[in-house]
C-alpha cells in the first residue's frame, strides 16, 4: 500500500462519478460486478491428492486485492466462514402469517402434480425469485487484506447483527506476495454449499483476486475486422440497500470504540447458555432477557429469564473476576441470536463480552488458534424506532460531510491520520505518538475523536479483539453523510426542537412499579404557534408501550404514519434528563437478588414483622405533632430492617447444597411523603407503605432502605 493512497482516492473521486452505487430516495442502489461467481473447486495435483480450491472473486470496480495461501487448519477455516454466512443471512424479524403465499403454493402444487421432482423444484424457485426476490438478497461481505491477515465484515438482513472475522496469517502458508486493500467478494449459497464440503484430510487453498478470473471466464468473439477478441463474461448484482441498513452498520461498528464493561467467559459457559436456550422455548408474555450479574471480585453470572437459570464459568483457571468497583445488573435482548456462534465454539479458546449498558449493543469476541470472531448483538430490529434511537444517542453527532470529499479542503488535517492507518494499523497510543511532533503534540483524546468520526463515515474499522484501528473505506467513493444524518424528516425536526431554548417545558419523569417510566412534557413549536402535550410510556426494556400527542398528525393518523417529531423530541429530552437530581420527590428503584428456592416461603411470608410495622406507624403518628426534622438528623430505621434476616453461616452452607435458585425483586418507590416497598418473588408479592411528615424525611428513609437492601446482597437494576 503506497503512501499516497488516501490522496489518490480523493483525486479519483473528484474526477469521476460514483460507479459502485447510485443514491435514491428509498436507499442506495449498489452495482456489484464480478468476473465470475465465487466457488469451491476440487482439483487433483501430481501426487493424486485432492485439493479444495476456494476462489473468492473481488469486485471489478474497486482497487485490485489479492491473497493466495494454503490453509493449515481447514476445519477452522470452514466453520468460521460458515458462521459468517449464518450472520449475513440471518433475519429474526417477526413475520406474520400470510395465507396468500400458501394459497399460491397449493395452486402451484396442483399444477405440478404430473411433473417430476426436478421440474417442480425449478418452477417453485423460479416463482419465488420473481415474487419474493428479497429471499435471496444478501449484501456481499466487505473484505480487507492487511498486514495481519484477512478480515471479513458482514451485517445481517434484519439490521440486528454485525460480525467481523479475522483470519490471521498464521493460519496460512503464503504462496506469493499479497496486494493490500479493501473490496467486496461474491458470497452466495453456492459458495456456502462448497465450503461445507471442506474436510480435514484434504488440502485447502484460498485464492482472492481477479488474475485467475480472466483465464477461466474468457471466450472468443470477432470484431468488425474479423479479428478474434477476448471478451470477459461479467456477472452483475443490483441490490437496493436501505439507507437505514448502512447507517446502522456504521454505527454498530463505531460504537465499539465507546466506554464499555468487559468480562471474560469460558467457552463452556457460552455453550451452556446456548444449550439452555435450545431446551427452553420462549414463553409468550414473559421476560426474554439475558441478565448478566456483575459483582466485584466475583465471576460473572448469566441468568436466563423467566426460567431463572444461572450459568457461570467454573472450568478455566485463567478467567479473571469482574474488576469493577460497583455491582451491576445488565439486561440484554436478542439472546436467540447467540445461536449463530455455535459453529465456532469447538475451536474457541477464550470468550470476552463487551457491554455498553442496559439494552444496548453487546460485543462477543471469540478467539482461537489463527482467528478471532467479533459478534455484535444490537438487540433491536429495523422497525423498533425507540430502541434504535437509544442506540443513536450513544454516539456523537454524525458529521455532515466526508473528510475525503475534495470540496472540503479545510479539513485536510484529518488526512494524516488516515494515511498513518493506511501504512500500518495501530492503537490510539501508538497513533498519537506517530503523529505528534515537538512543535505540535497530539493528545489521545483528539485522536479518539477523529477516529470515531472516521468510523461513522465508513473510513475506519475498529477491531475489538486486538484494540487496533484499520483504514477501511466502505465504498469506492465517499458516502454522502448528509443522507445518513437522520432516519427521517421527523427525527431531523426533533433534534432541531431540542436544540432550541425553552422548546421542551414542564418535563416530568415518573417511574411506575412493574410498568416502566412515564414521561410527559409540553413541546413548544414556534412555527405552529402552538404548544403540544406529549406523553411516552417506556417499559423495562426501553420499548415504547404507550405514546400520545396532541399534534394533528397523531390525532388523525395515530402512529400509522410514523412517529411525530414531538414524541421523538420528548425521547431525546429524557436522554438529557438529569436522573441524579434530588429535588424531585418521586423516584423508584428496583433491586434483585438470587436466592435459593427453599428459602422462598420464609422470605415471601413476612419481609417485615407485623409488630415492627405497627410500632413504626405509631411512631409516624406521634411524629406528626412534632416539628420537622433538621437536615442533620438521621432517621432510625432499625425496626424496619429487623425482618431482613442476615445471611449466616448455616444459610450459606445450605445454599451450597441446593443448585436451584430464583430471583427476588424489591421495588422501592418514594412518592412525596410516602415510601412504598414491594417484595416480589415468582408469583407472590407483599407490599409495605410508610407515611412521613415531610418529603425530606420520606426521601431520607428511601435512601436508607436502598442501602440496607444492598447490604443484604441486592443489586440495583437501573433500567434504561
pLDDT in tens, 39-63: 787 765 544 456 788 888 787 778 8
The answer on pLDDT for 630 being more than 60 is no
Question: Quick one: 504 and 478 in the same domain?
Answer: no
Q: For position 268, which CATH number holds? A: 3.10.150.10
The answer on pLDDT for 24 being more than 70 is no
Question: Quick one: 596 and 685 in the same domain?
Answer: yes
Contact 520, 534 (CB under 8 A): yes
* Bridge partners for 34 per DSSP: 235
Q: What is the pLDDT of residues 225-251, one digit of tens each?
A: 555 444 445 666 666 677 777 888 888
| Phi/psi of residue 710, nearest 5 degrees | -65, -30
Contact 694, 624 (CB under 8 A): no
* The C-alpha cell that represents 273 in the structure block: 447458555
Considering the domain boundaries, does residue 290 fall inside one? yes
Question: Quick one: 591 and 713 in the same domain?
Answer: yes
Domain boundary among 526, 548, 575: 575
Considering the domain boundaries, does residue 184 fall inside one? no
What sign has the CA pseudo-torsion 29, 55, 88, 458? negative
Q: For position 712, which CATH number holds? A: 2.20.140.10
Considering the domain boundaries, does residue 43 fall inside one? no
Domain that holds residue 424: 1-21+397-487
Question: Quick one: 704 and 591 in the same domain?
Answer: yes
Of the chain, the percentage scoring pLDDT greater than 90 comes to 22
Domain boundary among 465, 487, 509: 487
Span 450-478, average pLDDT? 88
Q: For position 482, which CATH number holds? A: 1.10.10
How many C-beta atoms surround the C-beta of residue 409 within 10 A? 8
Question: Quick one: 480 and 568 in the same domain?
Answer: no
Contact 70, 172 (CB under 8 A): yes
CA distance 74 to 512: 55
Domain boundary among 438, 458, 487: 487
Confidence of residue 692 (pLDDT cuts 50, 70, 90): very high
Please tell me the predicted confidence (pLDDT) of residue 169: 92
CA distance 491 to 373: 34
Of the chain, the percentage scoring pLDDT greater than 70 comes to 69
CA distance 184 to 142: 5
Considering the domain boundaries, does residue 668 fall inside one? yes
| Phi/psi of residue 346, nearest 5 degrees | -65, -25
Least Cα distance to 507 among 414, 586, 591 occurs for: 586
Considering the domain boundaries, does residue 630 fall inside one? yes
The answer on pLDDT for 354 being more than 50 is yes
Between strands 309-312 and 301-304, the pairing is antiparallel
* Secondary structure letter of residue 445 according to DSSP: H
- Angle at the Cα of 26 (from 393 to 141), degrees rounded to 5? 75
Task: For the chain, give the mean pLDDT.
Answer: 76
Considering the domain boundaries, does residue 624 fall inside one? yes
Considering the domain boundaries, does residue 175 fall inside one? no
Question: Quick one: 413 and 473 in the same domain?
Answer: yes
Q: Look at 127 and 19; give whichever has higher pLDDT.
A: 127
Q: Look at 90 and 125; give whichever has higher pLDDT.
A: 90
Question: Quick one: 502 and 567 in the same domain?
Answer: yes
Question: Quick one: 684 and 618 in the same domain?
Answer: yes
Which residue's entry shows cell 478474434?
A: 228
Please tell me the predicted confidence (pLDDT) of residue 138: 59
Confidence of residue 531 (pLDDT cuts 50, 70, 90): very high
Between strands 50-57 and 203-209, the pairing is parallel
Question: Quick one: 598 and 712 in the same domain?
Answer: yes
The answer on pLDDT for 608 being more than 60 is no
Count of structural domains, the chain: 5
Please tell me the predicted confidence (pLDDT) of residue 720: 39
Question: Quick one: 637 and 712 in the same domain?
Answer: yes
Contact 337, 344 (CB under 8 A): no
Confidence of residue 130 (pLDDT cuts 50, 70, 90): low
Confidence of residue 533 (pLDDT cuts 50, 70, 90): very high
Span 531-551, average pLDDT? 84
Least Cα distance to 5 among 481, 473, 475 occurs for: 473
Separation of first and last alpha carbons in the chain: 45
Question: Quick one: 614 and 709 in the same domain?
Answer: yes
Classified as helix, coil or strand, 163 is strand
Confidence of residue 93 (pLDDT cuts 50, 70, 90): confident
What sign has the CA pseudo-torsion 343, 348, 352, 354? negative
Question: Quick one: 557 and 659 in the same domain?
Answer: no
Sheet with 684-691, side-by-side order of all strands:
684-691, 674-681, 661-671, 586-596, 715-717
Amino acid at each position: 500500500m503506497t503512501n499516497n493512497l488516501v490522496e489518490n482516492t480523493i483525486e479519483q473521486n473528484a474526477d469521476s462519478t460514483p460507479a459502485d452505487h447510485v443514491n435514491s430516495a428509498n436507499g442506495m442502489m449498489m452495482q456489484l460486478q464480478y468476473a465470475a461467481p465465487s466457488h469451491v473447486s476440487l482439483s487433483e495435483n501430481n501426487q493424486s491428492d485432492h485439493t479444495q480450491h476456494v476462489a473468492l472473486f473481488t469486485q471489478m470496480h474497486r482497487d485490485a486485492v489479492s491473497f493466495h495461501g494454503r490453509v493449515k487448519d481447514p476445519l477452522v477455516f470452514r466453520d468460521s466462514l460458515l458462521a459468517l454466512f449464518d450472520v449475513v443471512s440471518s433475519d429474526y424479524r417477526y413475520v406474520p402469517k400470510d395465507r396468500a403465499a400458501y394459497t399460491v403454493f397449493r395452486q402451484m402444487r396442483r399444477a405440478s402434480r404430473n411433473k417430476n421432482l426436478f421440474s417442480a423444484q425449478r418452477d417453485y424457485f423460479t416463482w419465488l425469485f420473481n415474487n419474493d426476490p428479497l429471499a435471496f438478497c444478501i449484501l456481499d461481505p466487505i473484505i480487507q487484506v492487511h498486514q495481519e491477515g484477512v478480515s471479513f465484515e458482514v451485517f445481517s438482513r434484519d439490521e440486528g447483527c454485525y460480525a467481523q472475522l479475522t483470519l490471521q496469517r498464521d493460519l496460512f502458508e503464503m504462496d506469493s506476495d499479497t496486494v493490500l486493500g479493501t473490496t467486496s467478494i461474491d458470497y452466495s449459497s453456492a459458495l456456502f454449499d462448497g465450503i461445507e464440503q471442506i474436510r480435514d484430510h484434504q488440502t485447502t487453498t484460498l485464492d482472492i483476486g481477479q488474475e485467475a478470473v480472466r483465464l477461466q471466464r474468457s471466450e472468443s468473439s470477432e470484431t468488425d475486422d474479423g479479428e478474434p477478441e477476448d471478451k470477459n463474461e461479467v456477472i452483475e448484482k443490483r441490490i437496493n440497500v436501505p439507507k437505514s441498513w448502512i447507517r446502522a452498520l456504521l454505527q454498530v461498528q463505531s460504537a465499539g470504540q465507546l466506554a464499555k464493561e468487559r468480562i471474560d467467559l469460558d467457552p463452556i459457559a457460552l455453550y451452556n447458555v446456548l444449550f439452555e436456550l435450545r431446551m427452553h422455548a420462549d414463553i409468550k408474555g414473559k421476560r426474554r432477557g439475558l441478565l448478566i450479574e456483575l459483582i466485584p471480585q466475583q465471576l460473572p453470572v448469566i441468568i436466563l429469564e423467566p426460567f431463572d437459570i444461572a450459568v457461570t464459568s467454573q472450568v478455566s483457571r485463567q478467567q479473571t473476576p469482574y474488576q469493577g468497583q460497583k455491582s451491576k445488573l445488565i439486561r440484554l435482548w436478542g439472546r436467540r441470536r447467540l445461536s449463530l456462534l455455535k459453529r465456532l465454539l469447538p475451536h474457541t479458546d477464550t470468550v470476552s463480552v463487551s457491554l455498553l449498558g442496559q439494552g444496548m449493543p453487546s460485543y462477543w469476541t471469540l478467539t482461537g488458534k489463527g482467528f478471532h470472531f467479533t459478534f455484535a448483538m444490537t438487540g433491536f430490529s429495523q422497525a423498533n424506532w425507540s430502541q434504535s434511537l437509544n442506540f443513536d444517542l450513544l454516539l456523537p453527532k454524525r458529521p455532515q460531510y466526508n473528510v475525503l470529499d475534495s470540496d472540503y479542503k479545510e479539513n485536510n488535517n484529518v488526512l494524516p491520520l488516515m494515511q498513518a492507518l493506511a501504512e500500518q494499523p495501530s492503537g490510539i497510543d501508538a497513533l498519537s505518538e506517530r503523529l505528534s511532533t515537538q512543535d505540535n503534540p497530539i493528545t489521545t483524546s483528539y485522536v479518539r475523536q477523529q477516529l470515531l468520526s472516521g468510523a461513522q463515515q465508513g473510513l475506519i474499522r475498529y477491531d475489538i479483539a486486538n484494540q487496533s484501528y484499520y483504514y477501511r473505506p466502505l465504498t469506492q467513493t465517499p458516502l454522502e453523510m448528509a443522507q445518513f444524518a437522520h432516519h427521517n424528516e421527523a427525527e431531523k425536526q426533533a433534534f432541531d426542537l431540542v436544540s432550541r431554548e425553552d422548546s421542551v417545558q414542564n418535563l416530568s419523569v415518573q417511574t411506575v412499579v412493574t410498568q416502566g417510566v412515564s414521561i410527559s412534557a409540553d413541546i413548544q413549536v414556534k412555527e405552529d404557534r402552538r404548544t403540544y402535550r406529549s406523553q411516552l410510556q417506556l417499559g423495562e426494556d426501553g420499548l415504547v408501550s404507550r405514546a400520545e400527542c396532541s399534534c394533528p398528525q397523531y390525532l388523525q393518523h395515530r402512529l400509522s404514519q410514523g412517529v411525530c417529531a414531538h414524541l421523538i423530541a420528548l425521547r431525546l429530552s429524557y436522554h438529557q434528563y438529569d436522573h441524579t437530581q434530588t429535588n424531585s420527590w418521586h423516584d423508584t428503584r428496583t433491586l434483585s437478588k438470587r436466592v435459593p428456592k427453599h428459602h422462598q416461603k420464609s422470605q415471601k411470608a413476612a419481609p417485615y414483622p407485623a409488630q415492627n410495622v405497627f410500632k413504626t406507624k405509631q411512631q409516624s403518628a406521634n411524629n406528626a405533632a412534632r416539628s420537622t426534622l433538621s437536615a442533620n438528623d438521621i432517621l432510625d430505621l432499625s425496626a424496619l430492617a429487623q425482618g431482613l434476616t442476615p445471611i449466616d453461616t448455616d444459610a450459606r452452607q445450605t445454599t451450597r447444597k441446593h443448585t436451584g435458585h430464583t430471583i427476588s425483586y424489591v421495588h422501592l418507590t418514594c412518592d412525596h411523603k410516602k415510601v412504598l416497598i414491594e417484595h416480589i418473588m415468582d408469583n407472590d408479592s407483599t407490599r409495605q407503605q410508610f407515611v412521613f411528615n415531610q418529603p425530606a424525611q420520606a426521601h431520607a428513609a428511601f435512601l436508607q432502605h436502598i442501602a440496607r437492601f444492598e447490604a443484604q446482597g441486592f443489586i440495583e437494576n437501573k433500567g434504561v
